[in-house]
């Protein structure tokens, strides 16, 4: 595999063959870094942006630090499931999806070997992360969030009275510091280091990596409103038509696939051909974007005056449409906890976040873990598809479970949010 074809998402390159919706003028002005904020959010992905919006709407001062400049691409399957949509609806953010023209999702087609399993979806929409995150960042600034782009932020020291957590902010020219009563770590898979400590995530051996591309081509046979999930022995490829007929491709693959002779683009072409899908595009020449190993867990998603949310708090595997749903509901929950308790914040609230996270999010990962386990091995996937083809209610139950709405979950045991 020609390694230069894969662009690390953590680097500052921004390459995508899709036509970007560039803002007419510089989106966010460089601002003076405040010496102190009530909440500093590290990372402007879904978890960070949603939490910042929720906090700002409740009158809290929020500074959000993002490593890249909006609009930026992200490796993602671009599928928001019905649970994610329900949370966005509650936060009155779905009009953004309407404005962006995000198509509805009606079915998922899982293709493995000779079998194809089509399952109806209870809802969901397709939207590229470039557009979704840009729209949310715009909404966040409208609500009063101060966004610093192109900065690398990290947790730093705790004040001696333990009332403030210092954040280190680096850009190409300088290093600055700011203090926060609470820091939300929403920096995606890698998290951000607490001074001289490694991010406490345990990466699972044999973890897959993510690779993705969004492209414009009219010449394809990909149907609207459908998620295609093509399972192969060394990974799987998801395809969906997102806003403005853009074709979004995202794969979770074993990393050693990249060491093989064949280029990743060639693997994609062969996968499409195997499942009678056609997309006219020079995949071999495309600049794919890649991620770090995906599957990881973190012992506890909090520390003194910080809470981890979204992928920074742990990750199973993509294509269950759950990653963004967790990022959104986790962002909302953590922000509500912080907004309500900031004046009398203590370790008790951090532990509450740990148990809330466990109750409302980790439990829901069970179905996703099982799906990830099935998809790890083509034989298992084939067997599962055979079983689901014979007993369709199993497949329907699975989709329902993964998409079940937050309000059908048991309420959190503590009262920090009520
Ligand atoms: C191949 C693939 C396909 C997927 N498909 C789907 C799907 O179809 N549906 C779904 O729901 N989920 C999907 N996911 C999962 C989903 O993309 C993630 O779960 C989701 O993006 C998590 O959001 P987040 O806000 O936690 O992190 P991210 O979206 O990763 O955002 C983190 C942000 O933090 C910034 N950052 C990182 N370090 C720093 C730093 N030091 N300082 C400042 N900023 C920093 C990054 O630039 C980034 O903007 C997929 C993932 C992969 C890899």
Q: Measure 37 CA to ligand 1 centroid, in angstroms.
A: 24
Q: Which of 394, 391, 354 is nearest to 370 (CA)?
A: 394
Q: Residues 319-343: what's their mean pLDDT?
A: 90
Question: From the CA of 158, how far away is ligand 1's center (Å)?
Answer: 27
1 confidence band (pLDDT: 50, 70, 90): very low
Backbone angles phi, psi at 392, to 5 degrees: -55, -25
Ligand 1 pocket check for 46: Cβ under 6 Å? yes
Phi, psi of 51 (to 5 degrees): -65, -40
Q: What residue's CA is closest to ligand 1, atom 9?
A: 321
pLDDT at 124 over 90: yes
In this predicted structure, the answer to whether residue 10 has a pLDDT above a threshold of 60 is: no
Residue 80: pLDDT band with limits 50, 70, 90: very high
**CA 74 to ligand 1 centroid distance, Å:** 7
- Residue 174 predicted with pLDDT over 60: yes
Cβ of residue 301 lying under 6 Å from some atom of ligand 1: no
Residue 304 has pLDDT above 90, yes or no: yes
Instruction: Please give the Cα distance from 332 to 93 (Å, whole number).
Output: 12
CA 34 – ligand 1 centroid, Å: 26
pLDDT computed for residue 145 by the predictor: 96
Answer with the residue of higher pLDDT: 404 or 94. 94
Is it the case that residue 367 has pLDDT exceeding 70? no
Specify the pLDDT at position 259: 84
Decide: 333 and 307 in contact? Cβ < 8 Å: no
Distance CA 215, CA 33 (A): 37
- Select the more confidently predicted residue: 5 or 293: 293
pLDDT at 354 over 70: yes
Residue with structure tokens 């740990």? 354
Q: In this structure, which residue's CA is closest to atom 26 in ligand 1?
A: 310
Give the pairing type, strands 175-185 and 36-42.
parallel
For residue 187, how far is its CA from the centre of ligand 1 (angstroms)?
8
CA of 48 to the centre of ligand 1 (A): 10
Residue 385, H or E segment: helix 378-390
Ligand 1 closest atom vs CA 330: 26
Ligand 1 pocket member 79 (CB < 6 A)? yes
Ligand 1 atom nearest to 252, measured from its CA: 1
- Would the pLDDT of 9 be above 70? no
Q: Is the CB of 152 under 6 A from ligand 1?
A: yes
325 lines ligand 1 (CB under 6 A): yes
59 within 8 A of 144, measured Cβ to Cβ: no
Question: Is residue 367 within 6 Å of ligand 1 at its C-beta?
Answer: no
| pLDDT tens per residue across span 184-200 | 999 998 888 777 677 77
User: Which band of pLDDT confidence, cut at 50, 70 and 90, is reported for residue 18?
Assistant: very low
CA 50 to ligand 1 centroid distance, Å: 13
* Residue of 51, 65, 67, 238 best suited for mutating to test ligand 1, as the one with most atoms within 8 Å of CB: 67
Give me the mean pLDDT over the 145-159 stretch. Answer: 94
State residue 30 phi and psi, 5-degree precision. -65, 130
User: Is residue 75 within 6 Å of ligand 1 at its C-beta?
Assistant: yes
d(CA 109, CA 100): 25
So what's the pLDDT on residue 337? 96
pLDDT at residue 410 is higher than 90: no
Quick one: pLDDT band at residue 2, thresholds 50, 70, 90? very low
pTM of the model: 0.88
Q: Is 170 in the pocket of ligand 1 (CB under 6 A)?
A: no
Q: DSSP characters for 102-171?
A: PPB--EEEEEETTEEEEEE-S--EE--HHHHHHHHHHHHHHHT-EEE-S-EEEEEEEPTTSS-EEEEEE-
Give the pLDDT confidence of 224-277 residue by residue, as tens digits: 999 999 989 888 999 999 999 999 999 999 998 888 767 899 999 999 999 999
Cβ-based burial of 370 (10 A; exposed 0-12, middle 13-18, buried ≥19):
middle
Helix (H) and strand (E) counts in the chain: 10, 21
- Residue 401's nearest CA partner among 357, 371, 378, 381 is 371
pLDDT at 89: 97
Place of tokens 């966004």: 147
71 pocket-lining for ligand 1 (C-beta < 6 Å):
no
| Best residue among 128, 188, 190, 237 to mutate for probing ligand 1, ranked by most atoms within 8 Å of CB | 188
Q: State the distance from the centre of ligand 1 to the C-alpha of 52, rounded, in angstroms.
A: 16
Instruction: Assess whether the C-beta atom of 187 lies below 6 angstroms from ligand 1.
Output: yes
Ligand 1 atom nearest 250 alpha carbon: 1
């Amino acid at each position: 595999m020609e390694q230069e074809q894969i662009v690390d998402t953590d680097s500052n390159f921004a390459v995508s063959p899709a036509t970007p919706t560039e803002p007419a003028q510089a989106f966010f002005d460089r601002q003076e870094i405040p010496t102190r904020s009530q909440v500093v959010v590290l990372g402007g992905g879904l978890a960070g942006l949603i939490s910042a919006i929720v906090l700002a709407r409740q009158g809290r001062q929020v500074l959000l630090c993002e490593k890249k400049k909006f609009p930026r691409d992200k490796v993602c399957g671009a599928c928001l499931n019905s649970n994610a949509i329900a949370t966005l609806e509650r936060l009155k953010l779905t009009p953004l999806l309407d404005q962006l023209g995000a198509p509805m999702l009606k079915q998922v087609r899982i293709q493995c070997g000779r079998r194809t399993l089509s399952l109806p979806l209870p809802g969901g929409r397709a939207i590229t992360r470039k557009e979704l995150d840009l729209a949310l960042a715009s909404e966040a600034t409208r609500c009063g969030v101060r966004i610093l782009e192109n900065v690398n932020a990290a947790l730093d020291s705790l004040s001696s009275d333990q009332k403030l957590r210092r954040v280190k902010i680096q850009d190409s020219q300088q290093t600055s510091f700011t203090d926060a009563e609470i820091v939300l770590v929403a920096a995606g898979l890698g998290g951000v280091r607490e001074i001289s400590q490694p991010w406490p995530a345990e990466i699972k051996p044999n973890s897959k990596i993510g690779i993705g591309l969004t492209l414009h081509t009219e010449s394809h046979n990909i149907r609207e409103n459908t998620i295609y999930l093509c399972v192969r022995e060394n990974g799987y490829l998801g395809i969906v038509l997102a806003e403005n007929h853009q074709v979004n491709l995202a794969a979770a693959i074993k990393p050693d696939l990249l060491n093989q002779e064949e280029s990743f683009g060639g693997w994609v072409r062969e996968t499409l051909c195997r499942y009678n899908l056609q997309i006219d595009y020079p995949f071999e020449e495309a600049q794919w974007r890649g991620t770090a190993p995906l599957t990881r867990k973190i012992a506890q998603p909090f520390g003194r005056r910080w809470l981890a949310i979204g992928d920074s708090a742990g990750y199973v595997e993509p294509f269950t449409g759950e990653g963004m749903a967790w990022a959104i509901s986790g962002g909302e929950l953590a922000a509500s906890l912080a907004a309500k308790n900031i004046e009398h914040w203590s370790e008790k609230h951090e532990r509450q976040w740990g148990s809330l996270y466990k109750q409302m999010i980790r439990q829901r990962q069970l179905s996703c873990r099982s799906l990830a386990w099935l998809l790890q091995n083509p034989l298992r996937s084939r067997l599962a598809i055979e079983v689901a083809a014979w007993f369709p209610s199993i497949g329907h139950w699975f989709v329902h479970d993964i998409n079940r709405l937050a309000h059908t979950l048991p309420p959190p045991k503590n009262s920090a949010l009520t």
